[in-house]
Structure 1
Amino acid sequence: MDNFLPEPELTDAAARLYDEDLADNGYVMNLSRLWAYQPDTLAGLFELVGGVAEGGGLTPRQRAVLVAACASTLGDSYCSLAWGARLAKAAGEEAAAGVLRGDDSGLEAAERVMAAWARKVARDPNGTGPADVRELRAAGFDDRQVFAMTAFVALRLAFSTVNDALGALPDAELRAAAPPLVRAAVTYGRPPATTA
């Protein structure tokens, strides 16, 4: 078993979650087998995360920067592989691997400020200060976007925390599909499952 909890009884809501995975990925993800205990909670969380991102006008690339930076800071190998692969498509494999290692030199200037903010929020939210917010503003972000970035990272951290605390291993298929430099950069967190 690739989670600490056994797979729950298959309810209609869990079956829909599994069917979505099969349609999108061709396999049922380990995290879905975990969230099958409360599929409606997962749907509500993702709806909230999406609403926060849309309300702040965060682009898919910006979302990938934020998640890759916060997941790698937390040591979440699952989301690092998934979102590192997304960032690689948007910004290039070297830039994505860099973000996962804490090197943002491959990003645009405003994205570097976003990544630094995501890491601060993930590492020590009580350690942030007005100067950090001024830096985000200086990079061109308005207060609505600063709030959205912060709430987005916090919600993603909640998702990662549940997955990591309950032992969800990154899927073997997820690791295999990630670009080589992204795979090489994810040297932390739970090791991927070894079999599909």
Structure 2
Amino acid sequence: MFLQTIKEEQATGRVAEIYERQKAQLGFVMEAAKCFTARPDLLPIYTDFSDNVRASFSLGLREWRLITLIAAKHIPSTYCSHVYSKQLIEDLGSKEAVLAVQRDFRKAGLSDKDVEMLAYAEAIAQDASRIAQADIDRLRSVGFSDQQICDIALCAAFRCYVSRFFDAVGAGTEAAFIDNDVEFRSTMTVGRPV
């Protein structure tokens, strides 16, 4: 971490609550949380926003993770790529399936609906100004509602914001998210080296 942040033993109030919740879930506090405490008022704001967006997300957790993985690849964010690829192993059934999505989601055996969703997420991460009505029409043609399209855009754009913030302040990938498999680790390292 490049910035001075609130250490676990120094945390009070909402920051302490958020840290304790993460420790209960993961066994540690992520640098992705700590980095917001260089300005202490930000962590509760970020946490509340993130929790509310995810609670109302009209697609499943698998879709959130897929969108995030593809956005992270194009940002590029090694941190988010490693975190979400580890979570996707269970969703997709194997490391090989996650590797296939990371390498080329269009050829990974996903449904047409998944491919269109990820193509939209990819376009958002690369250059959202190039998105046109035809892109939205394609999403509708495979069955996405406008609310779901909004949520795909929000998830991908949110990842662009937080991933760039994490890199800008030096948040590093925790060992728990770095896979022992050399090929998997190398493929998920899309930006800053681990």
Verify same fold: TM over 0.5: yes
How big is each residue's C-alpha offset from its partner over 1:26-80, in whole Å with a ceiling of 9 and x where there is no partner? 1221222212332212212213421451xxx201111111111111111111111
CA drift of 1:129 comes to 0.8
Query: Cα RMSD between the aligned structures?
Result: 2.0
Q: C-alpha separation between the residues in 1 aligned to 2:164 and 2:52? A: 17
Q: Structure 2 length normalisation: TM-score?
A: 0.86
| Aligned residue in 1 for 2:113 | 110
User: Is the contact between residue 80 and residue 100 of structure 1 (CA under 8 Å) also seen in structure 2?
Assistant: no
Letter in 2 for 1:19: E
Q: Structure 1 length normalisation: TM-score?
A: 0.85
Structure 2: gaps (5+ residues): none
| Aligned residue in 2 for 1:170 | 173
Matches within 5 A, 1:141-180: 141-176=144-179
| Aligned residue in 2 for 1:101 | 103
| Aligned residue in 2 for 1:41 | 45
| Aligned residue in 2 for 1:82 | 83
Change (3 A) 1:74 1:102: farther
Matches within 5 A, 1:53-64: 53=57, 57-64=58-65
Instruction: State percent identity of aligned pairs.
Output: 26
CA drift of 1:123 comes to 0.6
| Aligned residue in 1 for 2:73 | 72
Confirm whether residue 22 of structure 1 aligns to residue 20 of structure 2: no
Letter in 2 for 1:147: C
| Aligned residue in 1 for 2:131 | 128
Change (3 A) 1:161 1:47: same
Determine helix, strand or coil for the equivalent of 2:107: coil
Structure 1: gaps (5+ residues): none
CA drift of 1:115 comes to 0.8
How big is each residue's C-alpha offset from its partner over 1:143-193, in whole Å with a ceiling of 9 and x where there is no partner? 2211121122212222212112111111112214x776542311322233x
Q: C-alpha separation between the residues in 2 aligned to 1:99 and 1:138? A: 22
Q: C-alpha separation between the residues in 2 aligned to 1:156 and 1:73? A: 11
Q: C-alpha separation between the residues in 2 aligned to 1:140 and 1:181? A: 35
Q: C-alpha separation between the residues in 1 aligned to 2:106 and 2:169? A: 30
| Aligned residue in 2 for 1:5 | 3
Give the number of aligned pairs. Answer: 186
Runs (4+) of structure 1 exceeding 6 A deviation are none
Change (3 A) 1:165 1:144: same
User: Is the contact between residue 4 and residue 166 of structure 1 (CA under 8 Å) also seen in structure 2?
Assistant: yes
Change (3 A) 1:184 1:104: farther
Q: C-alpha separation between the residues in 2 aligned to 1:66 and 1:96? A: 12
